[in-house]
Amino acid sequence: MSETAQQSPHHIDVKEFHPRAQAAIHNPKIRQNFRKAMDGLMTKRKSAFEGWDLETLRDLGANIRLRALANLPDLLEQLEQKLTENGIKVHWAVDSDDACQIVRDICVARDAKSVIKGKSMVSEEMELNHYLEEQGITALESDLGEYIVQLAGETPSHIIMPAIHKNTGEISELMHEKTGTDLSHDVEYLTTAARLQLREKFMNADVGVSGVNFAVAETGTLCLVENEGNGRMTTTVPPCHIAVTGIEKVVPNLEDVTALMALLTRSATGQHITTYFNMISGPRKPDEMDGPEEVHLVLVDNGRSSIYQDNELLDTLRCIRCGACMNHCPVYTRVGGHTYGTTYPGPIGKILMPHLIGLDEGRHLPTASSLCGACGEVCPVKIPIPDLLVRLRQESVDGDKLHPAKVNGHGAKRGAMEAMVWKGWSWMHARPGAYRFGTNMAARFRKLQPGKIGGWTQFRTAPKLASKTLHERMKERGQ
pLDDT at 419: 86
Does residue 428 share a domain with residue 406?
no
Domain with 106 in it: 56-306
pLDDT at 10: 55
pLDDT at 403: 62
Residue 251 lies in a domain: yes
- Torsional sign, CA 182, 187, 190, 196: negative
Strand partners, 294: 240
pLDDT at 146: 95
Counting other chains too, the contacts that 361-365 makes at CB distance below 8 Å and 24 or more residues apart are: 361/1, 361/14, 361/15, 361/409, 362/14, 362/409, 363/15, 363/396, 363/409, 363/412, 363/413, 364/14, 364/15, 364/17, 364/18, 365/14, 365/17, 365/340, 365/392
Q: Which of 306, 340, 363 is the last residue of a domain?
A: 306
Residue 45 lies in a domain: no
Task: Give the model confidence (pLDDT) of 66-105 as tens digits.
Answer: 999 999 999 999 999 999 999 999 999 999 999 999 999 9
331-344 burial by CB neighbour count: b if 16+ within 10 A, else e? bbbbbbbbbbbbbb
Residue 35 lies in a domain: no
Does residue 390 share a domain with residue 284?
no
Q: Which of 146, 141, 128 has its CA nearest to residue 300?
A: 128
pLDDT at 164: 92
Does residue 386 share a domain with residue 296?
no
- Collapsed DSSP state (helix, strand, coil) of residue 151: helix
Distance, CA of 64 to CA of 74 (rounded, Å): 15
Residue 29 lies in a domain: no
Does residue 292 share a domain with residue 402?
no
Residue 11, sorted as left (phi over 0), alpha (psi -120 to 50) or beta, turns out to be beta
Distance, CA of 420 to CA of 415 (rounded, Å): 9
Number of H helices, E strands in the chain: 22, 10
pLDDT at 402: 61
Contacts of 286 (CB under 8 A, 6+ apart): none
Distance, CA of 165 to CA of 406 (rounded, Å): 35
Q: Which of 300, 279, 294, 258 has its CA nearest to residue 76?
A: 300
Q: How many domains does the chain have?
A: 3
pLDDT at 9: 52
Residue 37 lies in a domain: no
Contacts of 141 (CB under 8 A, 6+ apart): 117, 119, 129, 147, 149, 150
- Torsional sign, CA 202, 208, 212, 217: positive
User: HEC profile for 269-314?
Assistant: HCCCCCCEEEEECCCCCCCCCCCCCEEEEEEECCCHHHHHCCCCHH
Q: Which residues of the chain have pLDDT under 70?
A: 1-11, 400-405, 479
Counting other chains too, the contacts that 6-9 makes at CB distance below 8 Å and 24 or more residues apart are: 7/130, 7/134, 8/127, 8/130, 9/130, 9/153
Does residue 341 share a domain with residue 266?
no
Does residue 382 share a domain with residue 237?
no
Does residue 422 share a domain with residue 371?
no
pLDDT at 401: 57
Residue 470 lies in a domain: yes
Does residue 360 share a domain with residue 277?
no
Counting other chains too, the contacts that 422-431 makes at CB distance below 8 Å and 24 or more residues apart are: none
Does residue 332 share a domain with residue 266?
no
Does residue 275 share a domain with residue 136?
yes
pLDDT at 454: 79
Contact between residue 222 and residue 267 where contact means Cβ atoms under 8 Å apart: no
Task: Give the model confidence (pLDDT) of 274-325 as tens digits.
Answer: 999 999 999 999 989 889 999 999 999 999 999 999 999 999 999 999 999 9
Distance, CA of 121 to CA of 143 (rounded, Å): 12
Q: Which of 117, 82, 136, 72 has its CA nearest to residue 243?
A: 117
Residue 214, sorted as left (phi over 0), alpha (psi -120 to 50) or beta, turns out to be beta
Does residue 444 share a domain with residue 335?
no
Q: Which of 414, 434, 467 is the last residue of a domain?
A: 414
Residue 104 lies in a domain: yes
Does residue 346 share a domain with residue 362?
yes
How many CB atoms lie under 10 A from the CB of residue 62?
A: 18
pLDDT at 238: 96
pLDDT at 137: 96
Beta strands 250-251 and 214-216 are parallel
Residue 44 lies in a domain: no
